[in-house]
Amino acid sequence: MSKSGKTDAASDPVIPLLTAIGLSQPKAIEAVKSPKIAAELKDIVETYGLHTRAGEKMDDKQAGLIVALAGQLVKADSRPEEPKRAYVVEKIVAGQLKSVDQVTAAVKYVESHPTPIDDADFDTQCGVGFSITAAELYDQIANYVTSAAVSGWSNLGQVINAARSIPELRWANTLEVKNTVEKVFLDKFGAKEAAKPKVKEPKKAPAKAQASVEPEPSSRKSIFEEGFLGQLHKPGENPQIRPEFKEKHLAVTGGQVWTRFPPEPNGYLHIGHSKAIFVNFGYAAHHGGKCYLRYDDTNPEKEEAQYFESILEMVRWLGFEPWKITYSSDYFQQLYELAVELIKRDKAYVCHCSQEEIKASRGEKSGQLPTACVHRTRPISESLVEFEKMKDGFYRPKEANLRMKQDLTDGNPQMWDLTAYRVLDSPHHRTHDKWKIYPTYDYTHCLVDSFENISHSLCTVEFVASRQSYEWLCDALEVYRPRQSEYGRLNLEGTVMSKRKIMELVQKGYVNGWDDPRLYTLIALRRRGVPPGAIISFVSNLGVSTSLSNIEISRFEQSVRQHLEGTAPRLLMVLRPLKVTIENLLEDYVLMVEKPLHPKVAALGTTTIPFTRNIYIDAEDFRLEDSKDYFRLAPGKTVGLFQAPHPITCTSYKTDPTSGQVVELICRMEDGAEVKKPKAYIQWVAEHAASGSPVRIDETRVFHQLFKSDQPSKNFLDDVDPNSLEVIKGAMVEVGFWSLAKRSIGEARRESKERTEKASTREGTSPGDDTPHATSEQLVGNECIRFQGLRVAYFAVDKDSRLACLDEPEGVEPARKQGDLLILNRIVSLKEDSGKAA
């Protein structure tokens, strides 16, 4: 290409071609930033003579679609050959394709269909000729809002998203859809402020002043377009030591955003990592770019196979698919060769100082600048020989290190001759015993970012000081230099996240493993039933800035609750059953009651449950002493039963002769005309063997905060609340549980299969033998069965449960089988509680 050496984009010869077809000057300059796209545009304009067509001049928007087309073509998997490209171009020129969305669909269409293109089919598939009036749009959306039983402004974002998937609105203008949804909301729910909080923020929530709490998601632009992420540089804008690095970089990436999520595979990911995952994968996805999952495996002493698997699983569980899975160890040879090069450039030396000597010479404690050690000035040839000896196993660990020759007069300790390579006597899980020397994080990270052509190296502010050494090393070796940018970490208060501390809790038996639902590892949150979408919206609502987000657990739980409120089906459930005999019903009385699974989300469907003479209510809904402000059951009092035809009145009760505890209530069903509407309704389940009712729950696990203090101290083990796990035996849930369970698992399996198939057919995902890869099983577990126990809490099925019917073919009526074990985990309470065990 003749464009290398070009320094000023504004002088690019393609620009006049673009302005000639109708594109504005600034957009034209923007468009040619990627050399690949510029070349494609030049070819399109010249091939079809778009710049010379009199009387057919396009407007800025149409011309913008030609640019979009060029962008699509250069990254298309299988480039549509002529006359397919011409076909799409003419459709744009004729004004038939009106949006980028349509152009995207058009490219996909021609890619996958033979020529000649079937005009009519193309038009339907790509929305040609689509039009909708403002009134029609309004009606469509108003209908949707009514039928989906949307509850208020808090659902705005959801509805805007959902509206796009209404088939009739597939080709509607996104902005118009959004404005119309807002208009419908305004008409239906009133002004946003007045309508406000359905779900109140807990009072103590607005945490620390430093917490970066940003406004409600619905009222703001995408998190990727404002604040920290909105201010990041454009690909190619990161400075380079040699200008041609930029050209090459843009040529390889096509000007896309390329990021990476680079965990060390030495532990399980926790909620703090979900921010890193969201930021890296989300930012790339938002800009149509790519994100690597890169295992940073340079520390063979700490890595274990289980962590590799688990990391991929968690990334996928949160909803992301890596573009490619790589390892730092993929580059060991390249890294080694560059280390030799670094020595040759007199920018590294082999040092034999002990750790203590290095520390002392770095003067970190005394607050002085470091002093050079005797090895720093040794001849290059000597360091080369010594480095080979390190590599060949001549030295034991710690006897020799390769150190970078940085700048001892700089105020930044990251510039004080960091170690680049050390000798380690451990086999590596992938390279086995090939290497005796291993590169450090400081040496590896920036170079692998460079090898992988990362455009944005996003990390947390802990690494701010490292940016200088990152750039120093890339420049010292004269390689492409990615730009590192740092955002604030997410920290949850009232729990511990450090690997060492969690390990101690596990090993000393304070919790039952790394996935104990009282922990905030991602595997624990998953097991507890927290939906991945709730975690993503939590992280996204917090926003991304450079300050630390110190968030209280109660705020996280509030987020989860909000997410479940509109999505979790509701079942009748009694935690501590108290038997009730309805004396005026016959022994064999049975009424089948059909009830909605969610009062506002009709799409969730219904269940049918029996109502009989013998039912169970929650022991908490009965009292012996009545009082004025008490509306549930007491002797002589009447209460409503959800979905049941009539209220009941307690006429008497039976007690256990030894304990004196109430063990059964005798009630009367009030079906007379004079009965007043009860002031309160309670949940119940009926005894009815023929329907398999009720479903008996072997164990219900209720998790309270693991620590008594909001700031578990150094002696965090002393802070552990011994009552943080509450196990309740013998709870009951309605029979609707079975169909819900079966359906939830079925849906999860289907979705997972679809996603996995898509993921494994994408470019770059063919894994090596030892590479964890995407499987359908990764995304499906018992925790996919979630519901709200009405008036009780949100629950999910624990992984230790055994429910044989889930593996039976569809169509077989699910029910309890011999050997089944049903364990429920409480995901979160319905309202904020004290958080502590009672």
In the complex, minimum distance from the CB of residue 292 to ligand NAG, in angstroms, rounded to a whole number: 9
Q: Which stretch binds ligand NAG (CB under 6 A): 79-87, 182-190, 245-253, 542-550?
A: 245-253
In the complex, minimum distance from the CB of residue 262 to ligand NAG, in angstroms, rounded to a whole number: 14
Q: Which of 6, 33, 499, 623 is catalytic?
A: 499
CA distances from 501 to 267, 299, 497 (A): 12, 20, 7
Half-sphere exposure in the Cβ direction for 285 (13 Å, CA): 14
Q: Which of 168, 182, 264, 751 is catalytic?
A: 264
In the complex, minimum distance from the CB of residue 252 to ligand NAG, in angstroms, rounded to a whole number: 4
In the complex, minimum distance from the CB of residue 78 to ligand NAG, in angstroms, rounded to a whole number: 20
In the complex, minimum distance from the CB of residue 804 to ligand NAG, in angstroms, rounded to a whole number: 48
Residues 6+ apart with CB under 8 A from 721: 704, 705, 706, 707, 708, 836, 837
Q: Which stretch binds ligand NAG (CB under 6 A): 244-252, 433-441, 687-695, 829-837?
A: 244-252
Answer for which of 249, 483, 561, 826 binds ligand NAG (CB under 6 A) is: 249
Contact positions with ligand NAG (CB under 6 A) in 297-336: none
The torsion defined by the Cα of 579, 584, 585 and 587, in degrees rounded to 10, comes to 80
- Whichever of 64 and 254 has its CB closer to ligand NAG, that residue is 254
C-beta separation of 573 from 693 below 8 A: no
In the complex, minimum distance from the CB of residue 772 to ligand NAG, in angstroms, rounded to a whole number: 20
> Which tokens hold the place of 229?
């992420």
C-alpha to C-alpha distance for 337 and 75, rounded to whole angstroms: 32
- Whichever of 252 and 503 has its CB closer to ligand NAG, that residue is 252
In the complex, minimum distance from the CB of residue 480 to ligand NAG, in angstroms, rounded to a whole number: 6
- Whichever of 292 and 487 has its CB closer to ligand NAG, that residue is 292
The binding track of 689-718 with respect to ligand NAG, each residue x by CB under 6 A or -, is ------------------------------
Give the containing element (helix H, strand E) for 828. Answer: strand 823-829
Counting beta carbons within 10 angstroms of the beta carbon of residue 816, is it exposed (0 to 12), middle (13 to 18) or buried (19 or more)?
Answer: middle
- Whichever of 254 and 543 has its CB closer to ligand NAG, that residue is 254
Q: Does 248 bind ligand NAG (CB under 6 A)?
A: yes
- Whichever of 453 and 537 has its CB closer to ligand NAG, that residue is 453
Q: Which stretch binds ligand NAG (CB under 6 A): 55-63, 248-256, 330-338, 499-507?
A: 248-256
Q: Which stretch binds ligand NAG (CB under 6 A): 187-195, 246-254, 565-573, 650-658?
A: 246-254
Contact positions with ligand NAG (CB under 6 A) in 340-369: none
> Which tokens hold the place of 623?
């009292």
- Whichever of 341 and 820 has its CB closer to ligand NAG, that residue is 341
C-alpha to C-alpha distance for 476 and 47, rounded to whole angstroms: 44
Give the containing element (helix H, strand E) for 484. Answer: strand 483-487
Secondary-structure breakdown of the chain: helix, strand, coil percentages, each rounded to the nearest 5: 40, 15, 45
DSSP code of 399? S
Buried b (16+ CB within 10 A) or exposed e, 594-608: ebbbbeebeebeebe
In the complex, minimum distance from the CB of residue 166 to ligand NAG, in angstroms, rounded to a whole number: 39
- Whichever of 453 and 649 has its CB closer to ligand NAG, that residue is 453
In the complex, minimum distance from the CB of residue 245 to ligand NAG, in angstroms, rounded to a whole number: 7
- Whichever of 85 and 249 has its CB closer to ligand NAG, that residue is 249
In the complex, minimum distance from the CB of residue 551 to ligand NAG, in angstroms, rounded to a whole number: 36
Number of residues that bind ligand NAG (CB under 6 A): 6
DSSP for 338-381, please give it: HHHHHHHTT-EEEE---HHHHHHHHTTTTTS-----GGGGS-HH
Active-site residue flag, 234: no
- Whichever of 292 and 421 has its CB closer to ligand NAG, that residue is 292
The binding track of 473-492 with respect to ligand NAG, each residue x by CB under 6 A or -, is -------x------------
Answer for which of 452, 493, 687, 734 binds ligand NAG (CB under 6 A) is: 452
The binding track of 387-416 with respect to ligand NAG, each residue x by CB under 6 A or -, is ------------------------------
Q: Which stretch binds ligand NAG (CB under 6 A): 139-147, 204-212, 247-255, 370-378?
A: 247-255
> Which tokens hold the place of 720?
């552990």
CA distances from 18 to 28, 533, 550, 738, 800 (A): 6, 43, 49, 62, 63
C-beta separation of 426 from 393 below 8 A: no
Half-sphere exposure in the Cβ direction for 758 (13 Å, CA): 10
Q: Is 794 helix (H, G, I), strand (E, B) or coil?
A: strand
Contact positions with ligand NAG (CB under 6 A) in 23-52: none
C-alpha to C-alpha distance for 591 and 404, rounded to whole angstroms: 81
- Whichever of 453 and 643 has its CB closer to ligand NAG, that residue is 453
C-beta separation of 200 from 531 below 8 A: no
In the complex, minimum distance from the CB of residue 76 to ligand NAG, in angstroms, rounded to a whole number: 18
Counting beta carbons within 10 angstroms of the beta carbon of residue 694, is it exposed (0 to 12), middle (13 to 18) or buried (19 or more)?
Answer: buried
> Which tokens hold the place of 712?
């578990």
C-alpha to C-alpha distance for 648 and 671, rounded to whole angstroms: 9
Q: Is 295 helix (H, G, I), strand (E, B) or coil?
A: strand
DSSP code of 261? E
Nearest to 484 by CA among 260, 662, 148: 260
- Whichever of 339 and 454 has its CB closer to ligand NAG, that residue is 454
DSSP code of 52? G
C-beta separation of 694 from 732 below 8 A: yes
- Whichever of 479 and 505 has its CB closer to ligand NAG, that residue is 479
Active-site residue flag, 696: no
Answer for which of 240, 256, 328, 453 binds ligand NAG (CB under 6 A) is: 453
401-404/549-551 β-pairing: unpaired
Nearest to 575 by CA among 838, 820, 795: 795
In the complex, minimum distance from the CB of residue 249 to ligand NAG, in angstroms, rounded to a whole number: 6
Q: Which of 3, 61, 75, 489 is catalytic?
A: 489
Q: Does 430 bind ligand NAG (CB under 6 A)?
A: no
CA distances from 715 to 19, 117, 378, 506, 519 (A): 68, 72, 47, 15, 17
C-alpha to C-alpha distance for 566 and 564, rounded to whole angstroms: 6
- Whichever of 236 and 781 has its CB closer to ligand NAG, that residue is 236
Answer for which of 134, 199, 252, 727 binds ligand NAG (CB under 6 A) is: 252
Q: Does 12 bind ligand NAG (CB under 6 A)?
A: no
C-beta separation of 53 from 63 below 8 A: no
Active-site residue flag, 664: no
The binding track of 199-238 with respect to ligand NAG, each residue x by CB under 6 A or -, is ----------------------------------------
Q: Which of the residues are catalytic?
A: 264, 489, 499
Q: Which residues bind ligand NAG (CB under 6 A)?
A: 248-249, 252, 452-453, 480
